[in-house]
Amino acid sequence: MTAYQVVWRGPVSRASGLGIASREYVLALQRRGVDVKVDVKTHQLTRTPNRTNTLLAKFAQKPYAKNKPKVLIYHYPPNTINLKKERKRYDYIILNTVWETTKIPCCWLPNINQFDAVFVPSLHNKVAMRNSGVKVPLFIVPHGVHIHIFKPKNKKLLLKQLSGRFIFVSIFGFQHRKNPEALLRAYWEEFSSADRVALVIKTNGYSRVEKEEWIKNKIRNYKKMLRIRKKTAPVSIITHRLRQHQMKGIYTLGNVFVLPSRGEGVGLPFLESLSSGVPVIATGWGGHMDFLHSGNSFFIRYQLRPPAISMNSRHSISPTFRHLFAQKGQRWAEADIQSLKRQMRLAYRNPGLCRQKGRQGRRDMLNQSWLRAGFTLKQAIEKVIRIRRKRLFVHG
């Protein structure tokens, strides 16, 4: 057990990508022998009983260390912490965060430079932080993937009506940053009912209003607006929560995973797809470029543009979160529709190439485990401790 205690304050009970990362970082630290406590209300974990939550609940019940240094790792937006108050309780305070555009929100900066360090999951994030004026030490601590859970031999999700077709799979939250309109438009315009293809989308809304019918209605209205006259290839929309075996099976159902996202801090579905042996069609910009390459993916051309341009477009069909992503100086990647069409057609015509890229993706993911992420995270924590101790010694 380490000579310091890590207190993790983050969204460990959430079902989102951020929640998954928060849980997995905690578990990875524990496997690496770190004394880790979770700063969360126990009832948030016990209301959904499962193996992981039971373990995390034990970490939540653990007492705070009295005789060794305490390291707070804060996995929420940096503008939501009272640093003056936390400095009285903790010896070291580290921000663990992620961002998707070229610059962080302006409200983050005053607080962010008061942390002892910032941990980010990709080079994309590190560049965005530096370009935004972050001065404190920055460490890249990559996300991981469970290669024993997401694997090529997983039983496919059964969708009988799509049997015998080449399947495009996409998984994302229904928001503007994920660019659902480009995916749908490219698919409808490029393929017709004469093509043996199908697009399967697993998505979700962000409010009580944004349920299945609301999302499907947005998609139907968008198709009407585009005035597509031909009979199109089928699209299957899944909005309800899937169990883990179903989520595993939705990846292996696909011949290729496609997401023309405007910006990703990491892109967990890309990691999970590659681990499942399924290659990726992705915009060639963002945090996912740390692990995507031409051997495991098909890349969409893009241009960096201010987010407000696409948000104000008639093609915008999903929530924009404008207050976060449309600030002065921010840019993100707008996928080229024609390039997306070409890559989807290339994948469809070359199932053998998809299998080849998928096999390479699986090999690549063998080196992207959460245990490896835990090792990198532990090293970064201990380096922050050494840096701050040295600074205190010099100035003490």
Model confidence over 34-77: pLDDT tens digits? 999 999 876 666 566 677 888 888 888 999 999 999 999 999 99
pLDDT of residue 149: 95
Average pLDDT over residues 163-177: 96
pLDDT of residue 252: 97
pLDDT of residue 130: 96
Residue 302 has pLDDT above 90, yes or no: yes
Average pLDDT over residues 273-296: 98
pLDDT of residue 54: 82
Percent of the chain with pLDDT over 70: 97
pLDDT of residue 389: 80
Domain 5-144+370-394, CATH class in plain words: alpha beta
Least confident of 8-17, 74-83, 289-298: 8-17
Mean pLDDT, rounded, of the chain: 94
Domain 160-366, CATH class in plain words: alpha beta
Q: Identify the bridge partners of residue 93 per DSSP, sorted by sequence position.
A: 72
pLDDT of residue 47: 65
Name the segment(s) of the chain with CATH classification 3.40.50.2000. 5-144+370-394, 160-366
Model confidence over 185-230: pLDDT tens digits? 999 999 999 999 999 999 999 998 999 999 999 999 999 999 998 8
Banded pLDDT at 163 (limits 50, 70, 90): confident
Residue 392 has pLDDT above 70, yes or no: no
Banded pLDDT at 107 (limits 50, 70, 90): very high
Residue 280 has pLDDT above 80, yes or no: yes
pLDDT of residue 244: 85
pLDDT of residue 139: 97
pLDDT of residue 388: 80
